[in-house]
Amino acid sequence: MRKLKSIIQYECITSFKYIWIFYAIQYAAVSLITLIIGISMGSFEEVGTNALEMNTVIYVGILGALGLKEDFKMLIQNGFTRKYIFIATFSMFCFISGSMALVDTAAGNIIHHFNNGYSSLYGGLYGYENIVMNWLWLFLVYVMVCSMLYIGILVINKAGKALSIYLGAAAGGIVLLIIALFRYVFSAGTVSNILGFFAKAMGFMTDGTINYLFPILTLLLVIAALGSGSYAVIRRTELR
């Protein structure tokens, strides 16, 4: 357990310092843009932004994509097994996502409190009543994005360049096929049922109420699937 703790600490500590650089740049950019637009328009009344969490989504996506590149090499050089590397990487995803979700939940609610015109990602969808669920939902969304990019990079690394291009083309084809199915094959009733199912999975019930637990369970399920897939791939990953 001591060795597992050390590798988790390595992953978390070496990634954590970049969070503050990210937030510093994000809020500096928002302030600067607000200032420029406000000055050029002569008024700050119409200046505003929403869902700053989307920037974090991009950041954690990059984190997920880079999860393999340097750390895998470094940790395999230090004799760790792929199981340990996977656990450490996922722990880092959770740690970074949890920390950033905390900052974003606080920032989103504070900004909304002082400026009703600002809408956070979670607040815009589910409202501002439950801060804990707000954090949990954001945390899971961030972990899901990390996991999605992580498995993507693992598959690309495993498959190689040529096969990855074919896989990418196949994935694009599947997306087009699904769109075609929805537009030309499925009946209006079927489409409505499918959309209703996904809406329910994200907590939007047919009677107009919101179930806060469903999106949590859905996200957990998706993360579990992506995590299992990542583990299955990393178990067979060789150093290139």
Partner 1 sequence: MNAIQIKNVTKRYQDVTALDNVSFTFEHGKIYGFLGRNGAGKSTLINIIANRIFTDEGEVLVDDMTARENMDVHEKVFCMSEEDLYADGIKVKDHFKWIDRFYDSFDRKKAFEIAERFGLNTDKKFKQLSKGYQSIFKLTIAMALNVPYVIFDEPVLGLDANHRELFYDLLLREYENNERTIIIATHLIEEVANLIEEVVLIDKGKVLLQENVENLLKTGYSVSGMANNVDAYCSGKNVIGYDELGGMKIAYVLGEKSPAPQGSGVQLSAMNLQKLFVKLTEKGGN
Residues that bind partner 1 (CB under 8 A): 3, 6-7, 9-10, 14, 70-71, 73-74, 76-84, 235-236, 238-239
Tokens linked to 224:
């579990």
- Nearest by Cα to 220 from 239, 202, 205: 202
Q: Which is nearer to partner 1, 136 or 233 (CB)?
A: 233
Tell me how far, at minimum, the Cβ of 227 lies from partner 1, in Å: 18
Tell me how far, at minimum, the Cβ of 158 lies from partner 1, in Å: 12
Write the DSSP string, 18-31: HHHHHHHHHHHHHH
Tell me how far, at minimum, the Cβ of 19 lies from partner 1, in Å: 16
Which residues, other chains included, contact 196 with Cβ-Cβ below 8 Å and sequence gap of 6+? Answer: 206
Tell me how far, at minimum, the Cβ of 236 lies from partner 1, in Å: 8
Backbone CA torsion sign across 221, 226, 232, 234: negative
Rounded Cα gap, residues 208 and 73, in angstroms = 50
Q: Which is nearer to partner 1, 59 or 137 (CB)?
A: 59
Rounded Cα gap, residues 117 and 140, in angstroms = 26
Q: Which is nearer to partner 1, 3 or 113 (CB)?
A: 3
Which residues, other chains included, contact 236 with Cβ-Cβ below 8 Å and sequence gap of 6+? Answer: 158
Q: Which is nearer to partner 1, 188 or 239 (CB)?
A: 239
Residue 79's H or E segment, with its range, is none
Q: Which is nearer to partner 1, 69 or 113 (CB)?
A: 69
Tell me how far, at minimum, the Cβ of 63 lies from partner 1, in Å: 15
Apex CA 89: angle with CA 88 and CA 90, to 5°? 95
Q: Which is nearer to partner 1, 40 or 77 (CB)?
A: 77
Tokens linked to 112:
């909304």
Tokens linked to 120:
């956070």
Tell me how far, at minimum, the Cβ of 239 lies from partner 1, in Å: 4
